[in-house]
Amino acid sequence: MTLELTKELDAVNMMLSAIGEAPVSSLTDPSLLDASLAKEVLDQTNLSVQTAGLHCNTVLNQKLIPNAATNEISVGTLTLKVDSTGQSAHRDVVQRGTKLFDRDNNLFTFTESIYVDRVELLAFEDLPQHVRRYVMTKASRRFQTRFMGSEVLAGFTAQDEQEALIEFERTEAQTEDRNLLTGSYDTYKIIARGAPRRTTR
């Protein structure tokens, strides 16, 4: 038996099993309505978990350069949030759409590069396994409750989600400890500030 990290298809099939449905072999068949709905819930849950800012999806002290033609700074379509840092820490900038906005001057244009800590949305299969498991378990319980209105089935319960959350937070904390030992306190601050609260909602 070959052990592999949880794939997106595996996660959807786990969600389907939570409502007593048979597994599917593809996520591209639009006729598989339950699988399509499960994939949508998985995507929504992945987004909500990552928005907090995790070790795996946070880029530190990234240099963003203004466009030569417009002097605007693009943060990309997958950026969840940004915060000025390093030598730009004194600048008050925020994300608006896919652009950086200068709140000090009320402008989208910049005359110099800006350094930011950036949280970006990763695809499910680009996540570490402890994050995949938490996202899958949380999505499974959401899917089950939303479409079946019951936790009496053989699917996931609040207890399952709580156990996945404990493992998730423990692994994130271990990563934070490594950062502290190597002197990277900025990463620790970001993760600690954005760590999800222990909840099963």
Same domain, 91 and 134: no
pLDDT at residue number 161 = 79
In a domain, 201, yes or no: no
Same domain, 84 and 111: yes
Whether pLDDT at 186 is above 90:
no
pLDDT at residue number 3 = 76
In a domain, 176, yes or no: yes
Query: How sure is the predictor about 83, in pLDDT bands with cuts at 50, 70 and 90?
Result: very high
Same domain, 129 and 166: yes
pLDDT at residue number 184 = 42
Mean of pLDDT values over 96-120: 97
Same domain, 116 and 147: no
Give the pLDDT confidence of 153-174 residue by residue, as tens digits: 545 667 777 787 888 888 888 8
User: Hey, what amino acid is at 142?
Assistant: R
Whether pLDDT at 68 is above 80:
yes
User: Hey, what amino acid is at 54?
Assistant: L
Helix (H, G, I), strand (E, B) or coil at 82: strand
Same domain, 99 and 190: no
In a domain, 175, yes or no: yes
Backbone dihedral angles phi then psi of residue 164, each to the nearest 5 degrees: -65, -35
- Residue linked to tokens 């990763």: 122
Question: pTM for the full model?
Answer: 0.79
Helix (H, G, I), strand (E, B) or coil at 95: strand
Final residue in a domain of this structure, among 120, 136, 163: 120
The full DSSP string for 7-64 is PHHHHHHHHHHTTTPPP-S-S--TT-HHHHHHHHHHHHHHHHHHHT--STTEEEEEEE
Same domain, 165 and 80: no
Same domain, 31 and 128: yes
Final residue in a domain of this structure, among 68, 101, 120: 120
pLDDT at residue number 105 = 95
Helix (H) or strand (E) holding 83: strand 79-84
Same domain, 23 and 65: no
Same domain, 14 and 65: no
Same domain, 47 and 146: yes
In a domain, 200, yes or no: no
Q: Which domain holds residue 137?
A: 8-53+124-194
The full DSSP string for 160-192 is HHHHHHHHHHHHHHHHHHHHHHTT-HHHHHHHH
Give the pLDDT confidence of 92-106 residue by residue, as tens digits: 999 999 999 999 999
Same domain, 37 and 64: no
Same domain, 113 and 129: no
What is the domain count for the chain?
Answer: 2
